[in-house]
Amino acid sequence: MTNRTTLDRRALLKAGLGVGIAIPTKSWAQPPNRARPQPGDWLVFDGGENSGQRITPDLLALEQRPVAALAKDPATSTLRDGSRLNRVMITRLDPTKLSEATKPHAAAGVIAFSAVCTHTGCDVINWVEDKLLMACPCHESHFDVYNGANVVGGPAPRPLAILPLSLESGSVVVAAGFTGRVGFTQQF
């Protein structure tokens, strides 16, 4: 896979340079572990006693505290750990209680949310157990896991992106790319 980096138009306009200027560009091969999760990737635990193991619904307790997971390319065995933007937090929820918008992205109740807060990019690792809310340790943004990680508290401007999942021979695989932009958006 290759990726071409160019200066965006907005940067040029900001610099007052307009169009018609030659901008040096260079291509390079992006390491496969840096690429975002791809459809068909396996999902494996990232840390804990099952680290590296493929995720099956029975390895997750209902409404358990979300744990970290990463995608893994089954063809090359590449773990996509080259960017923190690739990390997701997974748990298992009651499919009958998922919001209609969230339900298609879960597999047997297993749901994966981007681990990166949309406020300033911190890892959303905390869990408010009695309210079933993911919580960011940096600025107390709270996300409702049954409702697409909608923001129910704190400064986050938008929900966490969902990584759609499906089941393949009983194991969880990535069904599609993230549903939205991962991480925070630089202002100005």
Partner 1 sequence: MFNLRPLFALLSILTVSSVGAQALKPYQPVTGERLLEQDSDSWLLYRGSYDSHGYSPLDQIDRETVADLEPVWSFSTGLREGHQAPPIVNAGYMYVATPQNHVLALNAATGELLWRYVRYLPDDLQQFHPTNRGVALWGERAYLATVDSYLVALDAVTGEVDWEVAVEDYYSGYYMTMAPLIVDGVVMVGVSGGELGIRGFVAAYDAETGAELWKTYTIPAPGEPGSESWPGDSWKTGGVPVWITGSYDPELNLTYWGTGNGGPWMGDTRPGDNLYSTSVIAIDPSTGELKNHHQYHWNDSWDWDEVAAPLLIDYEREGQRVKGLVHAGRNGYLWFLERGAEAIDFVDATPYVYQDVFTSVDSVTGRPEYDMSKKPGTGYEASFCPSLWGGKDWPPASFDPASRLLFIPANENVCSTMVGEEVEYSPGRAYMGRGTSENGGFYVRDGADHIGELQAWNVDTGERAWTTTFDSHNWGPTLATGGDLVFMGGTNDRKFRAFDSASGETLWEYPTNSGVIGVPVTFTVEGKQYVAVQAGWGVDAQREQNLINMSQGTNTYVPQGGVVWVFALP
List contacts with partner 1 (CB under 8 A). 5, 7, 11-12, 14-17, 24, 26, 28, 47, 83-85, 116-117, 120-123, 125-129, 135, 137-140, 153-155, 183-184, 186-188
Q: What is the DSSP letter of 132?
A: T
Among 36, 127, 32, smallest CA distance to 87 is for: 36
Query: Smaller CB distance to partner 1: residue 110 or 134?
Result: 134
Closest distance between partner 1 and the C-beta of residue 120, in Å? Answer: 4
Listed residue (81, 80, 110) closest to 94, CA to CA: 110
CB of 154 to partner 1, least distance (A): 6
Q: Which is nearer to partner 1, 84 or 101 (CB)?
A: 84
Task: Identify the DSSP state of 51.
Answer: T
SS3 59: helix
Contact residues for 143 (Cβ-Cβ < 8 A; gap 6+): 113, 124, 133, 134, 135, 149, 150, 151, 152, 156, 159, 160
* 39 vs 47, beta carbon nearer partner 1: 47
Q: How far is the CB of 100 from partner 1 (least distance, A)?
A: 29
Select 3 or 99, whichever has its Cβ closest to partner 1.
3
